[in-house]
Structure 1
Amino acid sequence: MIHDIDLALYLNGPAKEVVAHGFARDSMIDFASALITHDNGRFSRIQASRITDKKKRLIEATCIDKFVDCELLRKEIIINRQSEIRQAEGQPYTITAIQEAVEVRPQEALLTELQAFVASCRGEASADLPGVEAGLQAMRICDQIQRAVTV
């Protein structure tokens, strides 16, 4: 869940409030669902489960004029735009769904992450990568979620 929290903070900015629910056995969380409300009014809903081995990594963004589906495991991004409704005089109307696939460059995520870490250690950090403070903020949110679920 830490990677998803990190992405939520990167995409939507600092968190104002975190509400979480779930269940744990002993000290291990089996399922957690968190709603993060960001300072800018946006929100992120994040879920993580250890109940089954099914792997699922999705980002869904609802925008003013589109809905974006990101499948992180398959590295697919689909943009769904507002449908067009057309009707010629005296003819039945047709609805056309507009979908756009975004090409994602194939790369191994962990390798890229490690390369960025090494570059940062060498003082070659990229300005658009999250820094130490972003990591601490993500860890604070993890702590809030863990405390809410294991109570």
Structure 2
Amino acid sequence: MEIAVVGGGSMGSNHVRALSRLDEVHVAGVVDVDLQRAQALADRHGTSAFASVEDLLTCCTPGRDLHGCVVATPTLSHLPIASQLIEAGVAVLVEKPAAASAAEAQELGRLSESYGVPMMVGHIERFNPVVRELAGADFEGPTHIDIRRVGPFTPRIHDDVVVDLMIHDLDIVRFLTGSNVVDVQAVGKPVLSEVCDLAVALLTLESGTTVSLMASRLGQKKQRQLDLTFEDHFVRCDLLHQSVLVQRGQQGGLTTEGFGFQQTMNEEIRYLENRAEPLVSELSAFVATIRSGDTPPVTIADGVEALRQVERVRAVIGKAIDSGVGTGPLG
């Protein structure tokens, strides 16, 4: 199967590398407005470079030598680039966020449906083995969910931290609980840039579960921690290193008397039998969607909903800033 990548930057390079690991896939080409950058990436993987989507479509016939395309470009370009590919009949995997707004993402959904072309959104944490394990677990809804997503500051990223990082966790919460958000409280502030570099949100779900999310690009190293508190046990997940720790007390998860570990530290990794790189799993699912014609595991509707929640959090942060609780713009 022939899959091209639009965007020769950091994320686009990762997609080309991951696609090259799939036996059933040939990278049809790399597209970037910086043709020199596209050529360097293409040369490393034995494929062709193009300066535009138009050039790609001129050289590669959709359905014959181009079956799908990954869009890993700056967010503002997602709508025009994905639209062009869909209208040409090329299946699209667009990096998160699906578009610059929920309204733009909805427009992509309408185009995809109108042209009958598959479209998938790259919410990569859906393919994290830890998240998949939790999604398949047989448990009652948690009392509370806490997610911390921290990383170092990266000047190349111009999006605020809510849409850059927190969007992952807004999607995880919806994916794991299936429950709608009924209340949002949030604060945030710029520190190293002109947009929000640190954001904290407290959500209340329709189910009654409370959720606290912290996204920051002020850390020295990456941290991806997901905690779930239940009435009788506590689950701590490391999404980065793909490990799970379950603590269970004999008289309730938060009591000290008789408190013990359901699993020892040595058993954590054994809890996940199938450790995998989420990006490779995501791209494999995209290829399977093109082959089968089935609904993709992450639909454009999922992308729209994630952006709606981003916009809710941003709006609350904006009000907090106006009232003096937070400082600076979201961008």
Contact 1:20 1:35 in 2 (8 A): yes
Q: 2:298 & 2:204 partners in 1: Cα distance? A: 19
Q: 2:308 & 2:227 partners in 1: Cα distance? A: 24
Partner of 2:219: 52
TM-score (norm 1): 0.79
Which structure 2 residues correspond to residues 2-41 of structure 1 after superposition, within 5 A?
2-12=167-177, 13-24=179-190, 27-41=194-208
Q: 2:215 & 2:174 partners in 1: Cα distance? A: 17
Amino acid at match of 2:183: E
TM-score (norm 2): 0.39
Contact 1:21 1:34 in 2 (8 A): yes
Contact 1:83 1:95 in 2 (8 A): yes
The 3-state SS of whatever aligns with 2:207 is coil
Q: 1:7 & 1:24 partners in 2: Cα distance? A: 25
Find 1:136's aligned residue among 292, 304, 321: 304
Change (3 A) 1:37 1:95: closer
Higher helix share: 2
Q: 2:219 & 2:303 partners in 1: Cα distance? A: 28
Partner of 1:77: 244
Contact 1:69 1:78 in 2 (8 A): yes
Find 2:294's aligned residue among 120, 124, 130: 124
Partner of 1:149: 317
The 3-state SS of whatever aligns with 2:279 is helix
Change (3 A) 1:41 1:95: closer
Aligned-pair identity (%): 31
Partner of 2:95: none
Partner of 1:90: none
Q: 1:140 & 1:61 partners in 2: Cα distance? A: 24
**Larger C-alpha radius of gyration, 1 or 2?**
2
Cα deviation 1:48-102 (Å, max 9, x = unaligned): 1011232110110001111000111110011100147xxxxxxxxx845123236
Greater relative CO, 1 or 2 (CA 8 Å, sep 6+): 1
Extract unaligned runs of 5+ from structure 1. Answer: 85-93
Extract unaligned runs of 5+ from structure 2. Answer: 1-165, 252-256, 322-331
RMSD: 2.3
The answer to whether structure 1 residue 61 and structure 2 residue 228 are counterparts is yes
Contact 2:249 2:258 in 1 (8 A): no
Amino acid at match of 1:51: L
CA shift for structure 1 position 114:
2.3
The 3-state SS of whatever aligns with 1:28 is coil
CA shift for structure 1 position 121:
4.2
The 3-state SS of whatever aligns with 1:6 is helix
Partner of 2:210: 43
The 3-state SS of whatever aligns with 2:294 is coil
Q: 1:121 & 1:60 partners in 2: Cα distance? A: 35
